[in-house]
Structure 1
Amino acid sequence: MGLETQKNGLHPDDIINALKGHLPEGYEFNPFHPLSDQKKEFIQNPSLSDKTHILVSIVSADKISRMSVDVIDKMKNVRAAASRLKIPQVLVMTMPDKACELVNKDVKRIYYSKAIKEKMQICSNELGLPMNCILPVKNYHEEGMLDNDMDILILNAMTQIMNFANDYLWNLQQHAIQK
């Protein structure tokens, strides 16, 4: 579960603690009680390897227009914390085939689809991410065989995610050298 429900989802403060590196290995999330700095398992002085190097959000293309204001506000809150920490952020937009018949017929048409561009624009407007940080990918869910066109989208998204994370680490290193 993500941020959708209070009953069994994640508490945004725990996500922010994860960004900062305060959560221990194997931490069990509690939607009602996020980890506080008063608890013994809270990592007071996290190392670089404890910290998050990129925030990746995942949203379904066919559901972005129906997301509740509460979920969008939680996502914005987490994004704002990541921005303050200078952590790069991307959004993986899944299920474009459910949001666009053109893409459903031919995934290679994903970047030509007006419907997908509109969904990406909604994500950008609602969450404040630039369009180049919204990565559409088609999920494997009915396919019996691998599909090179789907794989290209997934590999492109992974490559961009790794590049953003590497740039973040490189910038941290350059900042440390300058001190």
Structure 2
Amino acid sequence: MPPEILSNFSRCTVESVLTSSITVWHKEKDLQFVKDYQPQNREVKHLRVLLHGPAGAGKSSFINSVDSVLQGRVTGRALTDTTSDKSFTKEHKTYKIHKGPETFYPFAFSDIMGIEEGTGNGVCVEDIKLAMKGHIKDGYNFNPRCVISENNPKYNMDPTLEDKVHVLVCVIDADTVHRLSDASMKKMREVRLAASDMGIPQLAILTKIDEACPEVERNVRNVYKSKYLKKQMEGLSVTLGLSPNCIFPVKNYHSEIDTNDEVDTVILSALKRILESGEDFVNYL
């Protein structure tokens, strides 16, 4: 076993002990909640969830994973790339998930270019702010060096409540929390503060938990026993200023050919909280 893998294995197995009461897994209950969900605000047909975070953290993969859970099979509509640390997503794109042949679930994910270190790399923070306000239309190709102009045909001058973001979700790789640069963290913090000014609820998703902890790779249920993952969540909480109960560890589907209950459960747990947060926002504007 390579030294770096051995080190990671030792770190995780030694610290993988029960840290709280036994967690009850509510896959069927959460799945039913998602299937029954409907925004009470009649101005909103689809609750809009904006995913942002470092390039390669798993934003597009999370969209695919939610789609996989709800379709009951592994899907891959949102294109991903595993060979680069640069953002593979270049344009603003909204993903709706089929509920039936001609119907969709009443929520949608907005996927954008990832945050990267340094000026002129990754999505502009100002573009994320404009996206939250509903000013950026689907199909806009992000320019890392400049913000979208009001003269751009993809600029939405008069966004409706439906166009605006109702939940902001920061997506971060579980094993890179302690290695994120100050510049990247500063950008994510700026986005968070802007969302706070708009009253938009914010959550975070910690992805690739199986790669961060071998015990979780062996059994996803060990996610609630891992002190290492707990430490990463606490570190993210301190850095971004998010409450720990707003941070959800998730394993995305990436190498599997079939769905399974354990992976479905952690994804549904995060999705349920996302929908609840967005529902509160659109009802108390």
Please say whether Structure 1 and Structure 2 have the same fold, judged by a TM-score greater than 0.5.
Answer: yes
Query: Which segments of 5 or more consecutive residues in structure 1 lack a partner in the other structure?
Result: 173-179
| CA distance in 2: counterparts of 1:103 and 1:87, whole angstroms | 32
More strand by share: 2
Secondary structure of the 1:92 match is: strand
Secondary structure of the 2:146 match is: coil
The TM-score normalised by the length of structure 2 is: 0.57
Identity among equivalent pairs (%): 40
Please tell me whether residue 70 in structure 1 is matched to residue 183 in structure 2. yes
Corresponding position of 1:26:
139
Q: Which has the higher contact order (CA 8 A, sep 6+)?
A: 2
More helix by share: 1
Per-residue deviation at 1:133?
A: 0.8
Corresponding position of 1:35:
148
Corresponding position of 2:127:
14
| CA distance in 1: counterparts of 2:161 and 2:255, whole angstroms | 39
Corresponding position of 1:3:
115
Letter of the 1:11 partner, please give it. Answer: C
Q: Which moved more, 1:100-109 or 1:79-88?
A: 100-109
| CA distance in 2: counterparts of 1:35 and 1:163, whole angstroms | 31
Query: Which segments of 5 or more consecutive residues in structure 2 lack a partner in the other structure?
Result: 1-86, 88-113
Given that 2:175 and 2:209 are in contact with CA atoms closer than 8 Å, whether structure 1 keeps it comes out as yes
| CA distance in 1: counterparts of 2:179 and 2:211, whole angstroms | 14
Please tell me whether residue 115 in structure 1 is matched to residue 222 in structure 2. no
Equivalent residues in 2 for 1:66-145 (5 A)?
A: 66-145=179-258
| CA distance in 1: counterparts of 2:208 and 2:154, whole angstroms | 38
Corresponding position of 1:171:
284
* Cα shift readout 1:105-164 (whole Å, capped 9, x = no counterpart): 211111121111101001101111111111111122232332210110011111111111
Aligned residues: 172
Per-residue deviation at 1:100?
A: 1.6
The 3 A distance-change label for structure 1 pair 146 and 41 is: closer
C-alpha RMSD of matched pairs (Å): 1.6
